[in-house]
């Protein structure tokens, strides 16, 4: 079939305004046309409608109304096949739902995202790793809150990671002779302490009692740097 670009106007059979008007009228005469036929007639009349053809404009309006009762093909949903090659560490995790956010995510990737949430990852971090949309990941996370550790456990996991990173960096700085690792050691100590507090772990506190004589106290005081004192005479 050709739309007649290579023919003379008098020889054209398809693609002319007259043809599409005739086609649209034939479709509209049907009691219940197919939706695909209605859309085809719409497409064919667009050029004529842009040229202000009154007949084409009227038919386009009728075609839009015909969409409400036109027939459509009812396709049956394809059941999702279980992934037979699912990694062992993900086999126990639930897969994507039949409806709602996350239904179109690959089953393996869905479980990987869920595993990252269980490990304490944020939505932004999971989105960057997986390429899954933020809203979809938010729905996945909300759907499986019972499988994700609570806020305190997630925070303790993150603080453990911070303390390990600071400890490794501190060792590297010391071995390479880099100066002033005080900041990292402070961060490491605080992270370890806070992680223990969040988990409710008891910390061992060491108390030492040191006896000092009066002479030793005076000796220590004398070794302290003396301040410069400026005497001001009263006038």
Residue 217 has what pLDDT?
A: 62
**Best CA proximity match to 144, nearest among 113, 187, 165, 170:** 113
High-pLDDT (> 70) share of the chain, %: 65
Helix pair angle (151-175, 182-199), 10° resolution: 150
- Residue 190 to residues 75, 159, 163, 186, 197: CA-CA distances in angstroms? 60, 9, 8, 6, 10
Lowest mean pLDDT among 4-13, 136-145, 172-181, 206-215: 4-13
User: What are φ and ψ of residue 71, in 5° steps?
Assistant: -85, 145
Q: Tokens 């109304």 map to which residue?
A: 65
Q: What is the pLDDT of residues 147-185, one digit of tens each?
A: 876 666 767 777 777 878 877 777 777 677 665 656 667
Q: What is the pLDDT of residues 43-65, one digit of tens each?
A: 888 888 888 888 988 898 898 88
- Across the range 179-205, mean pLDDT stands at 69
Residues forming a β-bridge with 71? 34
Phi-psi region of 165 (alpha: psi -120 to 50; beta: other; left: phi over 0): alpha
Rounded Cα gap, residues 230 and 197, in angstroms: 49
Q: What is the pLDDT of residues 80-106, one digit of tens each?
A: 454 555 666 777 888 888 888 888 888
Q: Tokens 């100066």 map to which residue?
A: 179
User: What are φ and ψ of residue 34, in 5° steps?
Assistant: -75, 145
Residue 137 has what pLDDT?
A: 92
Per the CB < 8 A criterion, the answer to whether 63 and 28 are in contact is: yes
**C-beta atoms surrounding 11 within 10 Å:** 8
Rounded Cα gap, residues 143 and 101, in angstroms: 9
The 10 Å CB-count burial string (b at 16+, else e) for 156-180 is bbebbebbeebbebbeeeeeeeeee
Helix, strand, coil percent content, the chain, rounded in steps of 5: 55, 0, 45
**Looking at per-residue confidence, does 24 or 225 come out higher?**
24
Per-residue pLDDT for 193 more than 50? yes
- pTM for the model stands at 0.35
């Amino acid at each position: 079939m050709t739309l007649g670009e290579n023919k003379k106007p008098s020889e054209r059979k398809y693609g002319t305004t007259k043809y599409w008007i005739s086609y649209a009228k034939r479709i509209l005469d049907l009691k219940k046309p197919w939706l695909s036929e209605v859309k085809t007639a719409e497409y064919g009349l667009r050029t004529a409608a842009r040229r202000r053809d009154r007949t084409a404009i009227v038919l386009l309006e009728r075609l839009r109304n015909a969409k409400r009762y036109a027939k459509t093909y009812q396709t049956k949903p394809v059941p999702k096949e279980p992934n037979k090659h699912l990694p062992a560490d993900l086999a126990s995790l639930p897969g994507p739902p039949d409806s709602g956010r996350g239904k179109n995510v690959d089953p393996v990737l869905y479980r990987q995202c869920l595993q990252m949430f269980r490990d304490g990852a944020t939505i932004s971090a999971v989105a960057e790793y997986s390429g899954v949309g933020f809203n979809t990941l938010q729905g996945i996370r909300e759907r499986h809150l019972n499988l994700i550790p609570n806020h305190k456990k997630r925070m303790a996991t993150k603080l453990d990671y911070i303390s390990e990173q600071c400890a490794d960096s501190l060792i590297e700085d010391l071995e390479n002779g880099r100066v002033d690792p005080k900041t990292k050691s402070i961060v490491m100590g605080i992270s370890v302490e806070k992680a223990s507090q969040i988990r409710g772990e008891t910390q061992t506190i060491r108390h030492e009692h040191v006896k000092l004589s009066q002479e030793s106290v005076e000796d220590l005081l004398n070794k302290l740097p003396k301040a410069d004192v400026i005497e001001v005479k009263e006038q």
